Amino acid sequence: MRAISESRCFGGVQGVYSHASQVTGCDMTFGLFLPAEAETQPVPMLWYLSGLTCTHENAMTKAGAQRWAAEHGVALIFPDTSPRGADVADDEAYDLGQGAGFYLNATQAPWAPHYRMWDYISEELPRIVTANFALDEERQAITGHSMGGHGALTLAMRLPGRFRSVSAFAPIAQPTQSDWGRKQFTAYLGEDELSWRDHDATHLMNEYGCDGEVLIDQGATDQFLDLLRPEALANAMMRRRQPGAFRMQAGYDHSYWFVQSFIPEHLAFHAEALWR
């Protein structure tokens, strides 16, 4: 692992690191904010998964999360959204290929050799960060925005016991029924739609639910509402009687201004679960 940069931030350290990934078969980059408490003891960690077109850097610089993470003594991990490199398959469209990994393991050509983001986020990167930094692997939570909200919810529901809490900002809530999902699942996973269900938060909520509380914020004037399908997930939470909250926020769109506005509440929500 190589440190690309380390900068003092709210009494802690915001770092950017690179490593050769055995899972994706290419170099991967991630951001990590460590609060001051990490100098003396392992600290809880909150994973932040980003959305379409993003790298590790978008949320790291735009979400404004470090201030609140420092206040609560929580580390923030900002993974990349896909494998990258000259030898990694890509597509001219913004919503497929590099920057659009959808947090799954691809099974189809030409994506399968590198697009193994499920294994990377759920197995390899956790091993790397807990082995190299003062992080408490027993205290994890996860959040994300848009495609990253989809990833956060599906990881939390398919890995019961891993995360003490899960939240999302404007998640792609029902990708099996949306153009932000059907296109990518067909490319990455093939034509068998039954195989897509493991990556659909609405289906997983209906079938299994979450073993912890859930917090979801959705902008009511989000320009992508028809693609996100928030009503499907909200209805599934009601049918499941899932503990948590799904909040429609009047006047907010899909941007990082929306994320910045509610990130303090999400950090407080996760900190309560992580320090319990």
CATH class of 2-275: alpha beta
Instruction: List residues bridging with 132 in a β-sheet.
Output: none
Tokens of 81: 């959204």
Q: Structure tokens of 7?
A: 């900068």
Give the count of beta carbons closer than 10 Å to the beta carbon of residue 117: 26
- Phi, psi at 39, each rounded to 5°: -70, -20
- pLDDT at residue number 89: 98
- So what's the pLDDT on residue 243? 96
Residues with active-site annotation:
146, 222, 254
* Total-model pTM: 0.98
Cα distances (Å, whole numbers) of residue 103 to 39, 79, 140: 31, 11, 18
Selection from 142, 218, 204, 213 nearest residue 175 by Cα = 204
For the chain, give every domain's residue range.
2-275
Low-confidence ranges of the chain (pLDDT < 70): none
Query: Which pLDDT belongs to residue 56?
Result: 98
- The pLDDT of residue 43 is 98
CA distance 184 to 241: 30
pLDDT at 42: 98
Whether omega for the bond prior to residue 42 falls within 30 degrees of 0, making it cis, is no
